[in-house]
Structure 1
Amino acid sequence: MNVVQRNDAARSPAQADVGRASHTLTFSCRNRPGIVAAIAQALFELGANITEAQQFDDTESERFFMRVVFNQVSGKEPAGLDATLEALAGRFGMTWSLRDNQRRTRVLLLVSRFDHCLVDLLYRWRVGELEIDPVGIVSNHPVDAHAGIDFGDIPFHYLPVTKNGKEESEARLLRIVDETKADLVVLARYMQILSNETALKLSGRCINIHHSFLPGFKGARPYHQAFARGVKLIGATAHFVTSDLDEGPIIEQDVERISHSDTPEDLIRKGRDIERQVLARAVRCFVEQRVIINERKTVVFVS
């Protein structure tokens, strides 16, 4: 399987044009000698210059993972690049993805009542911190519930979810994903459980942010549950969405120590800060192609 991103991209207000063709290649395959040498030789013969390379050999699964950033010395895209990578994929049994680094990742943002993660992502986009192109915002609450947010020209979709209308709502959601040509769907505190069918259709391109505690508190008012149990750490986990609720491959996590003097309101405040940071780091990893799914886990090449 391969994914090739070629479309033209919108620019954020803070982004300048890039004058040199640049790509990021990620791939995984069964480990064997000669993989790195073959990739390097092929790119050299295409006239490409490798500017960054990271690799990982998973001895447990015997799979090899690599991320390579390269550009063309002449400033033009290497001729025959796709054909060369297809040949290498056939030779080594690779699953690979190629990203044009001048193309911005199209992101659809889903939110419910609490919109702190949404606001944070939009801010990071507007100041040029995240190389994304928000193509829409979907909420199961009307736009008045987010009156304090300036969405600018980003389309807002009110998608109410009812007990008997969940299937129809998800069908509409998938139509929006297709119509906006979204590369990534972010559940920025979207408090609705996606069906197995929808999770499968969005596999590998849907990220959720979840409060993570020890023990794990599910259901309503998780921070109040944590307070009642006297937890000493609160945290958040960003993960890919799968049919197993909140058990998808983990991309990023963080925690903060708390004490007996913290109130439930303190936990909520600190928890929101962690959620914002963890989700932003996970989105950045996806956008920069630093994360590769490895069965139930991920390989994350940190910058």
Structure 2
Amino acid sequence: MNSRFILKLSCPDQAGIVHAVTGVLAEQGGNILSSAQHGDADHQRFFMRIEFECAPATEAAALQAAFEPLAQRLQMEWTLVSSRAKTRVLLLVSKLGHCLNDLLFRVQTGHLPIEIPAIASNHRDFYQLAASHNIPFHHFPLLNSTEAQKQAQERKIRELVEEQQIDLVVLARYMQILSPEMCQFLAGRAINIHHSFLPSFKGAKPYHQAHARGVKLIGATAHYVTSDLDEGPIIEQEVARIDHSLAPESLVAIGRDTECVTLARAIQWHAEHRVLMNGRRTVVFK
């Protein structure tokens, strides 16, 4: 079986980037399976994702060494990984389990190509659900809202991330605001699902806010976590049509399905290395 890799990169835009990149891959015996690129005219920046295969014995380290001179010359931000390596995901959850349950089912049925080595929560509600999937459950309670306890609880999460070699942290309706230090630690590798079509209706009870405004569409937004609450780069959004006859509780029920679909897509695209950062925005090669 041939070795398969994914190369994703961004750099200042200029002529000849595709030719130069594919030339290096050809020199290493690479056979391109898929390629996508995007030029951002506003910021004069180029984005690219290539999936390719090489001879079975090819190592990622050798390819990285061969690609490094070009990357330096073109001032690239880039990663090269094996396409068969699964992303290791830590799920954080509080007392609403619809996203957690959906993700576990997708992984169990092979529809989401990730590994979940741990689930952590500030409540004990879902330890049995975790056990039914043979996933260790970590209870990190927050008995009060003191700064000292918050720091101690986040320290435990950081230790778990490092111990389990976590690639991505997912806030699957984890109803806690992460500290700026925690956001920095997880920069680019933490995804949150917000139960609103951001930037509308930030913060608490967005469905109730939407009902009060009489909107005809509600939605969900999956975005990277930053220290600016609900303002991280958006990966995916989905909407559902509603009308005046629905109470806020009905909006919540409809919205939960939308949240599950939106979060699963965002995680899959991140795990397949389809998402590239572009300042406050993202480029997603679907």
Give 1:75-224 correspondences, 5 Å limit: 75-77=56-58, 80-142=62-124, 144-145=125-126, 147-148=128-129, 150-161=131-142, 162-164=144-146, 165-213=149-197, 216-224=200-208
Q: Describe the shift of the 1:215–1:44 C-alpha distance in structure 2 as closer, same or farther (beyond 3 A).
A: closer
8 A contact 2:197–2:237 mirrored in 1:
no
TM-score by length of 1: 0.89
Q: Describe the shift of the 1:148–1:51 C-alpha distance in structure 2 as closer, same or farther (beyond 3 A).
A: closer
Letter of the structure 2 residue corresponding to residue 192 of structure 1: Q
Whole-angstrom distance in 1 between the partners of 2:242 and 2:193: 20
Counterpart in the other structure of 1:10: none
Flag structure 1 segments of 5+ consecutive residues without an equivalent. Answer: 1-18
Residue by residue over 1:67-87, the C-alpha shift from the partner in whole angstroms, topping out at 9 and shown as x without a partner, is: 000001x33326831111111
8 A contact 1:185–1:206 mirrored in 2:
yes
Whole-angstrom distance in 1 between the partners of 2:114 and 2:259: 19
**Residue 261 (structure 1) aligned with residue 245 (structure 2):** yes
Could you tell me how far 1:194 is from its partner in structure 2?
0.1
Counterpart in the other structure of 1:11: none
Could you tell me how far 1:277 is from its partner in structure 2?
0.3
Whole-angstrom distance in 2 between the partners of 1:127 and 1:68: 27
Letter of the structure 1 residue corresponding to residue 188 of structure 2: G
Flag structure 2 segments of 5+ consecutive residues without an equivalent. Answer: none
Between the aligned residues of both structures, percent identity stands at 52
Q: Describe the shift of the 1:203–1:297 C-alpha distance in structure 2 as closer, same or farther (beyond 3 A).
A: same
Letter of the structure 1 residue corresponding to residue 82 of structure 2: D
Q: Describe the shift of the 1:30–1:210 C-alpha distance in structure 2 as closer, same or farther (beyond 3 A).
A: same
8 A contact 2:120–2:139 mirrored in 1:
yes
Could you tell me how far 1:227 is from its partner in structure 2?
2.1
Counterpart in the other structure of 1:36: 18
Whole-angstrom distance in 2 between the partners of 1:157 and 1:48: 43
Residue by residue over 1:43-83, the C-alpha shift from the partner in whole angstroms, topping out at 9 and shown as x without a partner, is: 111111000000000011111000000001x3332683111
SS in 2 for 1:212: coil
8 A contact 1:119–1:149 mirrored in 2:
no
Q: Describe the shift of the 1:32–1:216 C-alpha distance in structure 2 as closer, same or farther (beyond 3 A).
A: closer
Letter of the structure 2 residue corresponding to residue 123 of structure 1: F
Letter of the structure 2 residue corresponding to residue 207 of structure 1: I
Whole-angstrom distance in 2 between the partners of 1:88 and 1:127: 41
Whole-angstrom distance in 2 between the partners of 1:133 and 1:184: 10
**Residue 240 (structure 1) aligned with residue 221 (structure 2):** no
**Residue 62 (structure 1) aligned with residue 44 (structure 2):** yes
Superposition RMSD on alpha carbons, in Å? 1.6
Question: After TM superposition, what 4+ stretches of structure 1 lie above 6 angstroms from structure 2?
Answer: none
Residue by residue over 1:154-190, the C-alpha shift from the partner in whole angstroms, topping out at 9 and shown as x without a partner, is: 1111011231210111111111111110000000000
Higher mean Cα deviation, 220-229 or 277-286? 220-229
Letter of the structure 2 residue corresponding to residue 253 of structure 1: Q
Could you tell me how far 1:149 is from its partner in structure 2?
5.5
Q: Describe the shift of the 1:90–1:136 C-alpha distance in structure 2 as closer, same or farther (beyond 3 A).
A: same
Whole-angstrom distance in 2 between the partners of 1:289 and 1:182: 15
Counterpart in the other structure of 1:249: 233
**Residue 279 (structure 1) aligned with residue 263 (structure 2):** yes
Aligned length, in residue pairs: 282
Counterpart in the other structure of 1:229: 213
TM-score by length of 2: 0.94
